[in-house]
Structure 1
Amino acid sequence: MFRGFFVKTISFVGYTVQYGCIAHCAFEYIGEFVSCSGPSMEPTITNHDVVFSERASRHLCRIQKGDIVIAKSPFDPKMNICKRVMGLEGDKVCTSGPSDIFKTHTYVPRGHVWLEGDNLRNSTDSRSYGPIPYALIRGRVCLKMWPPHNFGVLAESPNDGRIL
């Protein structure tokens, strides 16, 4: 009787480990669902929207300007941020805020990206903390999953036409 219980327990643990490894690989290399909070990406992504973040682009170095990414916060590594890529290494970007009279510029250093929220007046982004290392990017957002009436590919940046 004890032997049957022991075999069933070991079998259960084995299946749990196998499925755990499969889930880990899926979340690490394929993608994950992310619930976004805060106003920094409005109107593209609003508070409590759920998006799908794929990981292949990050591993293949295929992040481009205009992509929305999930990255580790440069201030708190336990927190993720959701921002739009506005500059890649070597690009000249505007570092001033939307209400600043005099515009300032900087170049994005090698191995870094410049991130900004779509809601420029209410976003803590690279204008505050500077360019972030490419290694902090966790994935590229490709679909809005929730709410159901907004399901689909994300819209272009409302700030594409801004003057640098």
Structure 2
Amino acid sequence: MWRRAVSGSWLTLKCGCVAHCIFQFIGDFVVCAGPSMEPTLQSNNVLLTEHISPILNKIQRGDIIIAKNPSNPMQNICKRVVALPGDTVKGPFSIRNQIVPKGHVWLEGDNSSNSADSRVYGPVPIGLIRSRAVLRIWPLDCIRLLV
């Protein structure tokens, strides 16, 4: 009986470790909140995301990503990559253009009138990107590839 309990605990531990590695390094699920990505994404949409592209530095212009908020690292943001390192973007509140520095990306929400993004906090370090959105899986009637 004791042996069976230890065996069951060991199996549970192994499954937990595998699940942790999958969610940490391969992909996970994210619930969107807020209007910044409307009409592409709505509040309470559930996304399947992958972690491999950010690890391999394969983020591309147009990708929807999940990143740590540069203004509040306890919060995640969901935005679209508009410009990559070396690209020129129109600077916020200015006529001058701004070049995205090496190691950074320019992020903007699809709902530009209601989005705090790089126009507010500037270029975002690539190291803050956690994952890339691949598929909207909820609500079921709106399942759609995002790549």
The CA distance in 2 between the partners of 1:111 and 1:29, in whole Å, is: 21
Matched with 2:140 is 148
Is 1:62 aligned to 2:58, yes or no? Answer: yes
Q: CA RMSD, aligned part only?
A: 1.5
- Higher relative strand content: 2
The residue correspondences of 1:110-121 to structure 2 (distance < 5 A) are 110-121=102-113
The CA distance in 1 between the partners of 2:104 and 2:34, in whole Å, is: 24
Match of 1:31 among 13, 27, 31: 27
Q: Which has the larger radius of gyration?
A: 1
The alignment partner of 1:52 has SS state of strand
The farther-off stretch of 15-24 and 42-51 is: 15-24
Q: How much has 1:15 moved relative to structure 2?
A: 1.4
Q: Deviations over 1:30-50 (max 9, x none)?
A: 111110000000000011111
> Residue type of the partner of 1:35?
V
Q: How much has 1:108 moved relative to structure 2?
A: 0.8
The CA distance in 2 between the partners of 1:54 and 1:31, in whole Å, is: 4
The alignment partner of 1:39 has SS state of coil
The CA distance in 2 between the partners of 1:83 and 1:107, in whole Å, is: 19
Matched with 1:80 is 76
Match of 1:41 among 37, 51, 55: 37
Q: Deviations over 1:114-134 (max 9, x none)?
A: 100000010000111111111
Distance 1:151 1:91, change over 3 A: same
How many correspondences in the alignment? Answer: 147
Q: How much has 1:104 moved relative to structure 2?
A: 3.5
Gaps of 5+ in 1: 156-164
The two structures have a TM-score, normalised by structure 1, of 0.84
> Residue type of the partner of 1:112?
H
Is 1:89 aligned to 2:85, yes or no? Answer: yes
% same residue: 49
Match of 1:138 among 130, 133, 137: 130
Matched with 1:162 is none
> Residue type of the partner of 1:8?
R
Q: How much has 1:95 moved relative to structure 2?
A: 2.4
